[in-house]
A and B are shown apart, each in its own frame.
Chain A
Amino acid sequence: MRHQFQTTPELLALCQENRWGVAEAALASEVELSGKPEAEIRARMEAYYLQMKDSVRRGLEITQRSRSGLSGGDSRRVLAHASGESVGPLGAAFERCIAYALAVLETNAAFGRIVATPTAGSSGVAPACLLSWQEQRQAENPRAAHGLFTASGIGKIIGHGACFSGAQGGCQAEVGSASAMAAAAICELEGGDPGQVVNAAALALQNTLGLICDPIGGYVEAPCMMRNGLFAVHAFGAAAVSLSGVQSIVPFDEVVATLREVGNRMPRIYKETSEGGLATTPTGLRFKSKPLQQK
């Protein structure tokens, strides 16, 4: 197995040796691991990207509130604001990116089809970032889908050093990972070298450390949806900072180790049990579903 990597030094060595970007390294590792042809793997990734775009489109059509009453119609509101005259100073693309991420989570809450990236609760970040990038750069689908390989390369390192489970590591493991993966993807699509790409992930991930998983009523809606929306634009911020040449003080692998440490030490009431955080605020408790009773 010559093309496998689990840490940043291993990834960067592969990239340097073969003159690859992070995306090519992730692709090569999958070709080797699965024994499947490159074209088949690319096609599968492109299919996922198209499904992601569908999940954005479907969410933007939702006008009704969800079963829980916690979400529904919000992505349309943000999109309308982005397209209107009162659009904020950072412009329509900034706000559209938020709307796209909300849309995926609305599709998810409506029992629609989404692509877990890396999880369902964090599935809005990557589609929002890549679709926003595609629109702004007027790129073709395969080019934007290429960013998913970059994202998966970063995901491999996080998966090895920590985890993606909110129940195990809190929201930092889900939305934090998604944001790091998206930051890396945008950085590489914008021409960042592998060092900058990993650095973008480090910058994004360290700003999510400590983020708890406290779904109100046990539903993947609030605060999940807004976390996706706002951490999507966060990913663009991290990519821009990295491309400017600013280095994260703490390198990526050490940030991943910190993610693991914080996750392990996080009290279980903040790990997808809905026993703490926003879920147990007076407002949050109003949405609580009945737990299973012992007979």
Chain B
Amino acid sequence: MGIFEIIGPAMIGPSSSHTAGACRLGWVAGRLLAEPPRRALFHLHGSFLATGRGHGTQEALLAGVLGVTPDDERIIEARDFAERSGLEYEFFPVDLGPQAHPNSVRIVLEGSTRQVETAGSSVGGGSIRIFEIDGLACEMSGVLEALVFWHQDEPGFLARLTAVLSSVQVNLAGIRTSREQRGARAITVVEVDGAIPTEISGVFSRMPSIRRSVIIPPLPAS
């Protein structure tokens, strides 16, 4: 655990878990969509549902999917901002089960060409964990830069992936693949130390088994 996970972030109140963490969860969802969101459905679980209102959780989630960061005062007027941005949104209660962290949310985000579904938790002090993308289990804390791949499960995929990354001297901090079943659609999340050279996206777009890839920079103010 880095010391700035403990001291910081500098953030707009009132709650690090219910405001800043919620904003970050929305922010990651927005980054995964990688196009302007048109419609957002938020399914709130546990304490997010129970006390979220007084903490501005809904506003923070909304602001986050629109790319607003936790230290930005626009969080307060997120509903206006959403309206101006043409974003339709709705909030629902959900029970993600007893294993889910009490501060959890499932976000379904639609843009003009695609839809992304993420589930994540705000685990305290503004830190977050994304534990599911498009129904497949993953693990992402947002502290490190991450690469997310939507791809086809096939032999040698990870070997080719890591070969590309090592060719540009990117050090892998963690890698995890989840798939529906053998040979079916899969998601791989790679967390790295430092920054990923952006030109690498071109290489990945030429790999036939990769449907889409996104670079998620480290969380703002983390």
Report A's interface with B, CB cutoff 8 A. 26-27, 29-30, 33-35, 41, 44-45, 48, 51, 68, 107-121, 123, 126, 148-149, 151-153, 155-156, 159-160, 163-168, 173-174, 181, 215, 217-221, 268, 271-275, 289-295
Is B107 part of the binding interface, using a Cβ–Cβ cutoff of 8 Å? no
**Do A218 and B54 have beta carbons less than 8 Å apart?**
yes
**Do B7 and A48 have beta carbons less than 8 Å apart?**
yes
- Summarize B's interface: helix, strand, loop or mixed: mixed
Is B56 part of the binding interface, using a Cβ–Cβ cutoff of 8 Å? yes
**Do B3 and A274 have beta carbons less than 8 Å apart?**
no
Most chain A beta-carbon neighbours within 10 Å: one of B53, B54, B101? B54
Which residue of chain A is the closest to B17 with respect to CB atoms?
A: A165
**Do A111 and B14 have beta carbons less than 8 Å apart?**
yes
User: Within the complex, what minimum Cβ distance (angstroms) separates A185 from chain B?
Assistant: 11
Is B140 part of the binding interface, using a Cβ–Cβ cutoff of 8 Å? no
A271 to B194, CA, bound (A): 36
User: Within the complex, what minimum Cβ distance (angstroms) separates B107 from chain A?
Assistant: 15
**Do B10 and A48 have beta carbons less than 8 Å apart?**
yes
**Do B8 and A115 have beta carbons less than 8 Å apart?**
yes
Residues from chain A with a CB closer than 8 A to the CB of B186 are none
**Do A159 and B5 have beta carbons less than 8 Å apart?**
yes
In the complex, chain B residues 118-138 whose Cβ is within 8 Å of any chain A Cβ: 122-126
A117 to B3, CA, bound (A): 10
Residues from chain A with a CB closer than 8 A to the CB of B54 are 68, 215, 217-220, 274, 289
A293 to B4, CA, bound (A): 37
Residues from chain A with a CB closer than 8 A to the CB of B92 are 292, 294-295
A153 to B76, CA, bound (A): 33
A293 to B174, CA, bound (A): 40
**Do B2 and A113 have beta carbons less than 8 Å apart?**
no
CB < 8 Å neighbour of B125 from A119, A160, A290: A119
User: Within the complex, what minimum Cβ distance (angstroms) separates B21 from chain A?
Assistant: 9
Known: A164-B124, A165-B125, A220-B13. A291 touches B50 (CB 8 A): yes
Other than the given A217-B54, A289-B54, 16 more pairs (CB < 8 A) read: A29-B3, A30-B3, A35-B193, A41-B3, A111-B56, A114-B10, A117-B7, A118-B6, A119-B124, A156-B6, A165-B122, A167-B46, A218-B51, A272-B47, A289-B53, A292-B93
